[in-house]
Amino acid sequence: MASATFFTHYAPYIFHKIDSLSFLATFRNSPYSYPPPRGKRPLHLDAHGGGFIGGIPEDSAPLCSQIAESTGAVVVSVTYRFAPLRPFPCAHDDIADVFLWLLDHATEEFGADTEIVTISGISAGGNLVLGGTLGAKDARGRNIVKGAVTFYSPVDLRLPPQEKRKPRGWPSFDPLWFMLPLFDSYAGPGRIRNIEDPRLHPTLASLADLPADMLFVIPTIDFLMYEQLDMVERLQKEAVEEAKKGASYHNSRRIEKLVFEGQWHGWLELPSWAIDESTRRKAFISACDFLGDVHRKNGFDINELASEKKIV
């Protein structure tokens, strides 16, 4: 059933690809060079989900296509190494490597503006883009990543899956109980050693190291719900205190959540016949609108770009 679900939903993106594939020669511990001159369009980095143990960039093709079309951003969807063969920090290092490569090369290669960078990720991908870009600053000490949208992403892996608090409506018998140890194979082996690492646990990250604008898309039938709600609540409180100190418009923060009652982890990745399609439309449109607001806040408006094309 899982294979059929994947095939029916993503076959159009596999057999009629509208994207391009690039193998990036990234190197860990390479000297960091500051971003090149401004390009024309915002740069958006997305990481697919898969419980840290699988998945492909095509998993996120519907979302990435919509972001590119509606916001005008250059969208890069990245893959990474998987557990259990490659536990933390391998996947986070992969995201960080691609991120640094993009800062150095995305303007020349893709015509992207590396001063307007946003990120997104579904499930594990959300954890990876937050952790892999955490605390990245430009030459003036400003956060490079301006905005983020995550979809039912784990933000606190200090507890194994079976010990997480279950929400109301959670089934008395979890049909995927036998998969839980595998889902824990990325964070589990080094849990004690990495218990305070905010890259693995974004909920521990300081407000100053996170994007100024963040949207969390959260279904209610998901044992990741509470950790996301807790992170949103904490960040909103800290943002209010920061605002009291007189933050400017460009330094102001927008921390929001979009909660979907009765939906479950992974519902956005299922075919239309298996879900209420209006919920997916709402989630994706809300994400695109949010990212478009981030772009405008930082000086790019796709509507103005369209107007310029008409004049030309």
Out of 2-11, 35-44, 53-62, 292-301, least confident range? 2-11
Q: Within 10 A of 233 (CB to CB), how many other CB atoms are there?
A: 12
Span 262-289, average pLDDT: 97
The pLDDT, as a whole number, for residue 30 is: 39
For the chain, first and last CA: distance in Å?
Answer: 51
pLDDT digits (tens, 9 = 90+) for 19-29: 555 655 444 44
Q: How far apart are CA 165 and CA 236, in angstroms?
A: 22
Q: Do 47 and 125 form a contact (C-beta atoms < 8 A)?
A: yes
User: Do residues 285 and 118 touch, judged by C-beta distance below 8 A?
Assistant: no
Task: Give per-residue pLDDT as tens, 128-155.
Answer: 999 999 999 999 999 999 999 999 999 9
Q: Please calculate the CA angle 73-110-18 and round it to the nearest 5 degrees.
A: 70
Residues 6+ apart with CB under 8 A from 85: none
- The pLDDT score that the predictor gives to residue 281 is 98
Give 170-227 pLDDT, tens digit per residue.
888 888 788 899 999 999 999 999 999 999 999 999 999 999 999 999 999 999 999 9
Q: What is the pLDDT of residue 172?
A: 83
pTM greater than the 0.85 cutoff: yes
Burial grade of 270 (CB within 10 A; 0-12, 13-18, 19 or more)? middle
